[in-house]
Structure 1
Amino acid sequence: MTSPQDGRAGIDAELVRRLVAQQFPQWADLPVTPVKVDGWDNRTYRLGSGLTARLPTAESYVAAIDKEHTWLPVLAPHLPVEIPTAVAKGAPGFGYPHPWAIRRWISGETASYDTVGDLDDFARSIAAFILALQSVDTAGGPLAGAHSFYRGASLQHYHDETVEALTMLKGRTDTDLAAEVWAAALASPYDGPPVWFHGDIAHGNLLVQDGKLSAVIDFGTSGVGDPACDLVIAYTFFTGSSRTTFRSAVTQDAAMWSRARAWTLWKALITEDFRVIDTVLDDFKQTH
C-alpha cells in the first residue's frame, strides 16, 4: 500500500478497516466500500449500510473534523433538510497522520439536471436552506478564516490570486469587465452581523430524493461571517427562470450579489471555467 502520507493515494479500504478495527471494534465486522461520488478534501468509505468513514487527504482539511463534530448537532435542528450526523472521531494510526470522522450514511442522489425534478422548486429549496442556516444563533461559532479557506471572510484575501488570473487570461476572456466585477465587490464589503454560511453549496454537496432536495452535506468550509459565498450556485447551476426564482427567494441585497459574483468569478478564473465566467459577466452587464 502507498504511504498514507502521500495523500489521497495512501487512503484505501484496507487502511480504513484497520483503523476501525483498532479504534471502534464494535464496527470491525462491517464491510468497507468506497462511495461512488467522492470529494477531493476527504476520502469517504461506507461502513456497512448505515455509517461512513471520512478521512482528510491533507493537513489543511483537518480543522473540519472537530468543527463539524461540534457544530453539526447544533445546526441540524434548525435546518429544513438532513445534514450529516457526527457519530465518532477517530485518531491517527497505521501511518495515517490525521484525525478522521465517522458519520451517518445519508441516502440520495447527487443533484444534477437529470436528478432534479423541477429546477424552480429546487431553487426555492436551496434558498430556504440558506435562509434557515443564516438564522441560526452564531454564539461561539467559528469565525471565517483558514478553517473555511476564507469563505465568509473578505474577498481581499484572494485579491492577488484574482489579479494574477486576470493577467494570465487576458485575450481569452473580457478581463477588463471581469476586473470591474471584482472591483465592484471589493467596494461593497459586508457590513452586516456575522451569520452562518455553508461555504460550498455546489451540486456535488446537494442530495436529491424523488427529484427534490433531501440533504446538504460537507460542512468542512462552513463558519460564521459574510454569507455571499453561498449564492455562487446561482451562476454555477441555476439558469433562466430557476436563477430568477433563486434570487427572489433568497432575498439578498445588491451588495451581497456583487460579492457573490466575485466569489464565483474568482473560482472560475483560477479554474479557467469560461462558461461560468461568461455567466457572471453577463449578469453584471444586466445589472449595471
Structure 2
Amino acid sequence: MIAAARTERLGEDRVRALLRLQHPDLAGLALRELTTGGGSRLWRLGDEFAVRLPRTRDAADRLCRQDRWLPLLAPGLPLAVPEPVRIGAPSVLFGRHWAVVRWVPGETGLPLPADDKSMDVMAAFLKALHVEAHIEAPGFRVAGGPKVPRWIHGDLGPSTVAQDGGMPAGVVGFGELCGGDPAVDLASVCRWLPSTAGERLLAAYGADDEMIARVERWATAL
C-alpha cells in the first residue's frame, strides 16, 4: 500500500527524485519552492513549468478535476492558465496524485484592476470560458439558471487572477471548475470591484437583463 503523502518532508531532493522517477526529461530543470500555492506545495520548474503537490486528499481531488478538464478549455482561453503538461501518479515518494503544469506569469493577491481595458480583458476571458459544459462535467443546477450548464471557474477573485503590469495576465485555482451558471463567475468578480467597473464588465461581457438579475442574486449569496 502506498503511504499517505507527507508534504512537510518534501524538500528539493524529494521533488527532484519524483521527477526523475516519473518524468526524467524534466528532472534536470532548475527547481525552486514558492511560498504560494493554496492547497498544494508549489515549485517553480525551469522557466515554463510548475510542480503542484497537494497537501491534502481534498486538494488532490481538486487537482484531478483541474487536470481532467482544463486541457479541453485552455486552447480557447485568452489568458494564461495552469494547464497540466505531465501527470504524476501516487508512489512511495509521494502518495497522492500530482502534476506538472504550465507556469502562469504575474502576481496574485492584489486588488483587481478596475480600468476599462482590464474589464474588457476579463470579459473576453469569461466569454471564452463560459462555453457549454461537457456532459460528464462535474456541476450543479440552480433554479433560474441556464438550461444548458456552462463551464465556470467557481472561485474567481484576487487570489486566482494573476496580474502583470497592472493588467490581468492569467487565472489559476481551477479546483472548483464545473458546469453551472456563468452568473456565479460574474458575481464573484463584481463583488471585488467598484460598481462602475462591475457595470463595465457586465456590458463588455454582453450580459442581458436576465443575466444581470442572476448576477445580483448570486452576489448576495457569495
Q: Indicate if the aligned counterparts of 2:154 and 2:177 stay in contact, CA closer than 8 A.
A: yes
Gaps of 5+ in 1: 145-151, 155-187, 265-288
Equivalents in 1 of 2:144, 2:195: separation in Å?
A: 28
Structure 2 residue 67 is matched with structure 1 residue 69: yes
Superposition pairs of residues 209-224 of structure 1, within 5 angstroms? 209-224=164-179
- Residue 201 of structure 1 corresponds to 156
Equivalents in 2 of 1:73, 1:191: separation in Å?
A: 24
Structure 2 residue 184 is matched with structure 1 residue 226: no
TM-score normalised by L of structure 2: 0.83
Shift of 1:10: 4.5
Structure 2 residue 139 is matched with structure 1 residue 140: no
Which structure shows the higher helix fraction? 1
Regions of 4+ moved over 6 Å: none
Equivalents in 1 of 2:91, 2:13: separation in Å?
A: 12
Any idea what SS the aligned residue of 2:175 has? coil
Equivalents in 1 of 2:10, 2:184: separation in Å?
A: 30
Residues 94-151 of structure 1 show CA distances to partners (whole Å, capped at 9, x for unaligned) of: 45321100012222233624x84x533222322221122113x42334131xxxxxxx
Larger Rg: 1
Equivalents in 1 of 2:144, 2:57: separation in Å?
A: 30
For the structure 1 residues 194 and 262, does the alpha-carbon distance in structure 2 shift closer, same or farther, using more than 3 Å as the test? same
Gaps of 5+ in 2: none
Residues 216-269 of structure 1 show CA distances to partners (whole Å, capped at 9, x for unaligned) of: 12211101122332121211x2114212222333315244224422442xxxxx
For the structure 1 residues 247 and 191, does the alpha-carbon distance in structure 2 shift closer, same or farther, using more than 3 Å as the test? closer
Superposition pairs of residues 19-38 of structure 1, within 5 angstroms? 19-38=18-37
Equivalents in 1 of 2:22, 2:164: separation in Å?
A: 34
Give the letter for the 1:33 counterpart.
R
Residues 138-190 of structure 1 show CA distances to partners (whole Å, capped at 9, x for unaligned) of: 2334131xxxxxxx555xxxxxxxxxxxxxxxxxxxxxxxxxxxxxxxxx542
TM-score normalised by L of structure 1: 0.66
Q: Indicate if the aligned counterparts of 2:141 and 2:149 stay in contact, CA closer than 8 A.
A: no
- Residue 48 of structure 1 corresponds to 46
* Residue of structure 2 aligned with 1:257, choices 175, 195, 215: 215
Q: Indicate if the aligned counterparts of 2:202 and 2:212 stay in contact, CA closer than 8 A.
A: no
For the structure 1 residues 52 and 4, does the alpha-carbon distance in structure 2 shift closer, same or farther, using more than 3 Å as the test? farther
Give the letter for the 2:69 counterpart.
W
Comparing 84-93 with 244-253, which one deviates more in the overlay?
244-253
Equivalents in 2 of 1:37, 1:57: separation in Å?
A: 12
Any idea what SS the aligned residue of 1:109 has? coil
- Residue 202 of structure 2 corresponds to 247
Superposition pairs of residues 136-175 of structure 1, within 5 angstroms? 137-144=132-139, 152-154=140-142
Q: Indicate if the aligned counterparts of 1:141 and 1:224 stay in contact, CA closer than 8 A.
A: no
- Residue 108 of structure 1 corresponds to 106
Shift of 1:38: 2.4
Equivalents in 2 of 1:197, 1:70: separation in Å?
A: 15
Any idea what SS the aligned residue of 2:138 has? coil
Superposition pairs of residues 268-287 of structure 1, within 5 angstroms? none
Give the letter for the 1:256 counterpart.
R
Equivalents in 2 of 1:197, 1:104: separation in Å?
A: 20
Q: Indicate if the aligned counterparts of 2:50 and 2:100 stay in contact, CA closer than 8 A.
A: yes
- Number of residues of Structure 1 aligned to a counterpart in Structure 2: 216
Structure 2 residue 153 is matched with structure 1 residue 129: no
Any idea what SS the aligned residue of 1:143 has? coil
Give the letter for the 2:176 counterpart.
T
